[in-house]
A and B are shown apart, each in its own frame.
Chain A
Amino acid sequence: MQPTANRGAVVSTLASLASLVAVLSCCLPLGTLLMAAGSAGASLFSERLRPFLLIFSAGALIFAFVQTYFRRRCEFRYRRLRTVLLWFACVVVVGMLIAPGYFSSLVAGRIPSFRGAAALQDFDVRDFAGRFDAASGATRLVVLLSPT
């Protein structure tokens, strides 16, 4: 998970810097959508900030859609690039919201697996304790993890 975090940090930092430049150069929708993507990327590694960053991302994205499709703020020559970036940011943010596990795999440069390596059973204390004791001849490793 460390490479994911490092890469996510670089990507989101670059996205944030780009958004700042874009805002300063008076292309607000571009800045907003990059900000959205930057926030979503940052949320890959910053667990505490993740809910706030994702909310911010979604808000920034909605703002960018309004600016692009309703107010038509920017000049025409920017529109194609901006539209591509807007939809790219939309994919990033929606991907982070719907399937953060798969999305972080992609950012880490790994194709996410859609096939399980084993069954995923609902936790039951008795069943777990039974299996734990049944394996008492072995060293046992118990790992508690968040899916995302």
Chain B
Amino acid sequence: MLQSENRAGVAVFVIWEPVLATDWLRPGPAQTSFVRDGRATHFWDHDHLLSALYQAQGSLARTEKVGFRMKNVIWDTALVYPPGVKWGAPASLMVAPVVNYHDELERALAER
């Protein structure tokens, strides 16, 4: 999806966090190769800090499309914030799981 969205003006923040039983090791830098995009900044959020912030925030986006039930951690989720929005404001779109909402994400990223 990011490959087809080549235009400038998109910043990507990828937050890796332990969710599954197999996430018992801190991933190495090679983990970033799964999202190979020059605009991406990668974080390892071992303590689910961002997830906790989002849960405290309540409504995360104007449009939320969540296809599975999350328990304590927000994961496999993408949020799109339009230009001008500051941290803490709701996103324009939230989708989960990411793979199921490819078209919606593309449309949201294309909007200015």
Seen from chain B, the residues whose Cβ lies within 8 Å of a Cβ on chain A are 8-23, 27-37, 40-47, 49-51, 53, 74-88, 91, 98-99, 105, 108-109, 111-112
Contact = CB atoms under 8 A, between A and B. Distances in A.
Interface stretch (A18-26, A80-88, A119-127): A119-127
Given A143-B12, A146-B75, A118 B17 contact: no
B32 to A, nearest CB: 4
Contacts of B50: 123, 125, 128, 142, 144
Q: Secondary structure at chain B's binding surface: helix, strand, loop or mixed?
A: mixed
Interface residues of A, number: 43
B17 A101 contact: no
B32 A119 contact: yes
A119 B80 CA distance: 22
Contacts of B32: 116-120
Interface string A33-54: 0000000000100010011001
Interface of A: 1-2, 43, 47, 50-51, 54, 96-97, 100-101, 112-123, 125, 128-129, 131-133, 135-148
A142 B79 contact: yes
A120 B35 CA distance: 12
A113 to B, nearest CB: 4
Contacts of B31: 101, 116, 120, 147
Contact of A129 (B18, B29, B45, B87): B87
Contacts of A138: 8-11, 83
A143 B14 contact: yes
Taking each of A47, A122, A123, A136, which has the highest tally of chain B beta carbons within 10 Å of its own beta carbon? A123
Contacts of A97: 22
B35 to A, nearest CB: 7
Given A123-B43, A139-B81, A101 B10 contact: no
Given A121-B42, A136-B86, A146 B23 contact: yes
Nearest to A114: B30
Nearest to A129: B87
Given A96-B22, A129-B87, A147-B27, A140 B80 contact: yes
A139 B80 contact: yes
Nearest to B45: A123
Contacts of A148: 20, 22-23
A144 B51 contact: yes
A71 B98 CA distance: 48
